[in-house]
Amino acid sequence: MTKILQALVSEAQMGTEADALTLVDLEVLSKSGQAPQAKIVIAYQGKEHRAEASGDGAVDAIFNAIESLVSSGTNLQLYSVNAVTEGTDSQGGVTVRLEKESRIINGQGADTDILVASAKAYLNALTLMRNPGRLHPQLGGV
């Protein structure tokens, strides 16, 4: 029960910033022998923005679709998936670490669908990256 509450609190904290990039919709197609495709809808400042992209894998396609909208210029340093709860319907927690100009930001996302959690984590990191008050995670400004 505690892990479920922690996941929900983390999820609620991600959407507290006024200029947050928020996932509205995600569709991913992955077939053997073909490059995965991702279609994404992101809300930003009250408007919805749509993009499509392919990638080396489903997560890469999602991140490429997001980058086609925001062109962040960040470098992905870490992608980590962990089970937050137990069972086949467990919440998956994703951590994404992005770096830009020596700034490092960790983004987090949680969902029963790891691809959705991945998109949420990447968007969370990008939202935090735009906040100049955020410091390097090892310097105490996570």
Q: In order of start, what are the domains of the chain with their CATH numbers?
A: 2-139 (3.30.160.270)
pLDDT given at position 138: 52
Percent of the chain's residues with pLDDT above 90: 70
CA-CA-CA-CA torsion sign (109, 114, 119, 125) = positive
More reliable by pLDDT, 21 or 7? 21
Task: Tell how strand 92-100 and strand 47-54 pair up.
Answer: unpaired
Radius of gyration over every alpha carbon of the chain, rounded to an integer in angstroms:
15
Could you read off the pLDDT of 47-99 as tens digits, one per residue? Answer: 999 999 999 999 999 999 999 999 999 999 999 999 888 888 889 999 999 99
Mean of pLDDT values over 128-133: 79
Query: Within 10 A of 14 (CB to CB), how many other CB atoms are there?
Result: 22
pTM: 0.82
Residue 92, SS3 per DSSP? strand
